[in-house]
Amino acid sequence: MTDRPGPGPEADADGDLEILLELIRDTRGFDFTGYKRPSLTRRIRKRMQEVGAGSFSDYARMLEAEPDEFTALFNTILINVTELLRDADAWRYLEREVLPHLRAEGRQIRVWSAGCSTGEEAYTLAVLLASVLGDERYQESVKIYATDADDDALRQARAARFPLRSLVDAFGEDRAEACFERNDVGYALRPDLRRAIVFGRHDLVQDPPISRVDLLVCRNTLMYFNADVQRKVLANFHFALNDDGCLFLGRSEALVTRTNLFLAVDPGRHVFRKHPQAPSVRPPLPPPPPADPADTRRQARNLLEAAYDSWAPAQFAVDTAGTVVASNRQARTVLGIGLAQVGRPLRDLEVSYRPVELRGPIEQALAHRRPVTLSEVEHRQPTGETVYFDVVVLPVERAGALLGATATFVDVTAARQLRQELERSQRELEIAYEELQSTVEELETTNEELHSTNEELETTNEELHSTNEELETMNEELQSTNEELETLNTELRRRTSELDEANQFLESVLGSLHAGVAVLDTDLMVRAWNAQAQELWGLRPDEVVGHSFLNLDIGLPVGELRQPVWAALSGAEEKARLVVKAVNRRGREIACVVVIAPMNGEGRVGGAVVMMEDGSDDSFRE
Ligand SMILES: C[S@@+](CC[C@H](N)C(=O)[O-])C[C@H]1O[C@@H](n2cnc3c(N)ncnc32)[C@H](O)[C@@H]1O
């Protein structure tokens, strides 16, 4: 940078300032040329003083030498003075008269805080909008775009924390406590309210505006720009606002709106409304730099060549005679067709047959003027890695004339791998599906079996039920039979005891007789045999009872008694008495007196009683 000659030191300084501003614009993209000169000059000089630069040109050299100085300069030029609810009266008016009427129910409310500095303006907007709309509507509809050209200020804005005192002073105790939360370093806006604020870098002079805005707050920023830039920025604001949108400017900026773009709502509070009929001008895009046509063609060719060279698939071209005429970087790397190979016949190069025979397809493409594609050609790289190419041979024509052909090697390794994985997954899916199907079938079969088992069980259950009923009936019958039997039993016991009594009585009767007594039934079987009979003949009752009397082997000649016994049984004789020779149990011969009498009962002869007594000592008594 050189000092430029001029009419005097003042003019020199002005010229140098402009050069400095152009330098900043061209190297850093920040355009201060539209800023009001008095304050801009003061700010730059302040910085120059701090770093000891004597003139604008010295300072320009310093900036070129130390790029970090730009940041310090910007921080000096861009004045970030701001505070919460700055100019409270105007904000109260906005809260009362404007905020409640922003947009109809259900639509988003878009607010733009342009030149937001360290964010206080955006936080003020959030608190007031939350109070006016209520938390719910705020959360679902409010978006606050807070922009500034100063990155450092934006960084602070994003992390803003406030002391409680300043919040209470600005919003009062209730609102401050409702909208802010305490953390380590101070009070931060509640996260649900904070989410609606988007901080971003935006240069009002150079960048296109944010669109469809309902409320545009740009306070104490326009005043740094000269009239031309102010007009341009205001035109952008007009474009940015919705037809019923409002503009809220700073205290000293009311006059700048004397354009036909805005209508004053309350000029004292710096509130304006967009003039919907005023023509809105879409901000122009920056014009392209003028260019020399020859340069343009050269640049275009260079660009084309560079683009071809850096194109991802490997490609080379052959003319109609089969000579290699071009190859790109990938072709050099992957196929080994370097500059040395360009100009040589394709048939002499390895690429003509490896990784795939190419002469045939190229001839075919040239002959038929149609593309030929070879799919998934395997190629083993020097690294040992295997890659797959789709090789596309394309005839190249211009204005109907055939110039040659290109061979393009598109790497499809990843796609192939993906396809294989897809196929494998599909197969697995099919197997899984089949397994599922068979499981489902098994389940169905099992289900049917269960169904039939259930039916069987139900039948069995019914059978059991009826068997149970039968058993219960039988049980009842048995119970009654049992009762009958018990009655019978009791009767039987009674009879038995009667019988026992009768037997005992009989035995005692028989026992008390001096004679031996044998009681016979009608078949001549012995029914009773008393002790005297045992004493006489030596046989116990159990050896005699049940045996035929006439067959007894005793000392009494029972054969001789046959006739009188039969006579007694037949009722022919009342009683017979006879004396027979006999031998008693001691082997002594005795004269045995035998009396046989019929045993009458129920009108018929039921047996016979045979009384036997030793008559040798005449002790026998009838
Ligand atoms: C004094 S502050 C105003 C802050 C706030 N609006 C207020 O009124 O409290 C001015 C802000 O305008 C910003 N500014 C200056 N030139 C700008 C530009 N071209 N584009 C965007 N912001 C700019 C500055 O960085 C600074 O933060």
pLDDT confidence of residue 431? 81
What is the mean predicted confidence (pLDDT) over 331-339?
81
Task: Give the atom of ligand 1 at the shortest distance from the alpha carbon of 207.
Answer: 20
Give Cα 37 distance to the centre of its chain: 65
Q: Which tens digit of pLDDT belongs to each residue from 235-270?
A: 999 999 999 999 999 987 765 556 789 998 998 889
- Residue of the nearest CA to atom 13 in ligand 1? 115
Q: Which has the higher per-residue pLDDT, 428 or 95?
A: 95
Per-residue pLDDT tens for 518-558?
999 999 999 999 999 999 999 999 999 999 999 999 999 99
Q: Please say if the pLDDT value at position 167 is more than 50.
A: yes
Residue 206 CB–ligand 1 contact under 6 Å: no
By most ligand atoms within 8 Å of CB, the mutation choice from 117, 219, 223, 270 for ligand 1 is: 117
What is the 70 CA–ligand 1 centroid distance (Å)?
Answer: 18
Measured from the CB, is residue 204 less than 6 Å from ligand 1? yes
Q: What is the DSSP string of 404-430?
A: EEEEEEEE-HHHHHHHHHHHHHHHHHH
Q: For residue 578, report the distance from its CA to the centre of ligand 1, in Å.
A: 171
- CA of 203 from ligand 1 middle (Å) equals 10
What Cα–Cα distance (Å) separates residue 139 from each residue in 64, 97, 106, 316, 619?
A: 48, 21, 12, 60, 146
At residue 154 the predicted structure's pLDDT band, cuts being 50, 70 and 90, is very high
Q: Which atom of ligand 1 is nearest to the CA of 31?
A: 19
- C-alpha of residue 561 to centroid of ligand 1, in Å: 165
pLDDT at 6: 41
User: Which pLDDT value is given to residue 249?
Assistant: 93
Distance 519 CA to ligand 1 centre (A): 154
Distance 568 CA to ligand 1 centre (A): 162
Cα of 165 to ligand 1 centre, how many Å? 25
Residues 6+ apart with CB under 8 A from 474: none
pLDDT surpassing 90 at residue 309: no
Tokens found for residue 482: 């049992």
Which one of 21, 166, 221 would you pick to mutate in the ligand 1 pocket, going by the greatest count of ligand atoms within 8 A of its CB? 221
Residue nearest to atom 8 of ligand 1 (CA): 219
The structure tokens 């001549």 sit at 524
pLDDT tops 70 at residue 437: no
Ligand 1 pocket check for 156: Cβ under 6 Å: no
Gap from CA of 22 to ligand 1 centroid (Å): 21
Percent residues over pLDDT 70 in the chain: 90
Q: Can you count the helices (H) and strands (E) in the chain?
A: 19, 19
Q: What is the pLDDT of residue 621?
A: 43
Residue closest to 324 by CA, chosen among 255, 404, 250: 404
Task: For residue 181, report the distance from its CA to the centre of ligand 1, in Å.
Answer: 27
The predicted pLDDT at position 477 comes to: 77
Q: Which atom of ligand 1 is the closest one to the Cα of 81?
A: 1
Residue 30 CA: which ligand 1 atom is closest? Answer: 19
Which of 148, 154, 199, 205, when mutated, tests ligand 1's pocket best, judged by the most ligand atoms within 8 Å of its CB? 148
Q: Does residue 80's CB lie within 6 angstroms of at least one atom of ligand 1?
A: yes
Does the beta carbon of 219 sit less than 6 angstroms from any atom of ligand 1?
yes
Q: How far is CA 50 from CA 19, 38, 53, 258, 292, in A?
A: 21, 19, 8, 39, 44
The reply to whether ligand 1 has any atom less than 6 angstroms from the CB of 150 is: yes
pLDDT value of position 620:
42
Per-residue model confidence as pLDDT tens digits over 197-238: 999 999 999 999 999 999 999 999 998 999 899 999 999 999
Distance (Å) from CA 218 to ligand 1 centroid: 8
Bridge-based pairing of strands 213-218 and 241-249 is parallel
For residue 172, give the 3-state DSSP assignment.
coil
Q: Which long-range contacts (CB under 8 A, 24 or more apart) does 308-313 make?
A: 312/411, 313/408, 313/409, 313/410, 313/411
Given this model, what pLDDT does residue 12 score? 64
Domains and CATH numbers, the chain: 9-77 (1.10.155), 88-274 (3.40.50.150), 294-411 (3.30.450.20), 414-493 (no CATH), 513-621 (3.30.450.20)
Q: How far apart are the C-alpha atoms of 212 and 274, rounded to whole Å? A: 12
Q: What is the pLDDT of residues 81-116, one digit of tens each?
A: 999 999 999 999 999 999 999 876 678 899 999 999
Residue 292's pLDDT band, with cuts at 50, 70 and 90, is very low
Asked whether 270 lines ligand 1 (CB < 6 A), one says no
Rounded Cα gap, residues 407 and 331, in angstroms: 10
Task: Inform me whether the pLDDT recorded for 277 exceeds 80.
Answer: yes
What is the structure's pLDDT at 539? Answer: 95
Residue 468 has pLDDT above 60, yes or no: yes
Average pLDDT of span 19-43? 90
**CB of 79 closer than 6 angstroms to any ligand 1 atom:** yes
Using pLDDT thresholds of 50, 70 and 90, give the confidence band for residue 341: confident
436 pLDDT higher than 80: no
Rounded distance from Cα 116 to ligand 1 centre (Å): 6
Residues 492-516: what's their mean pLDDT?
87
User: For the chain, what percent of residues have pLDDT higher than 90?
Assistant: 54
Q: By the 8 A CB rule, do 327 and 420 touch?
A: no
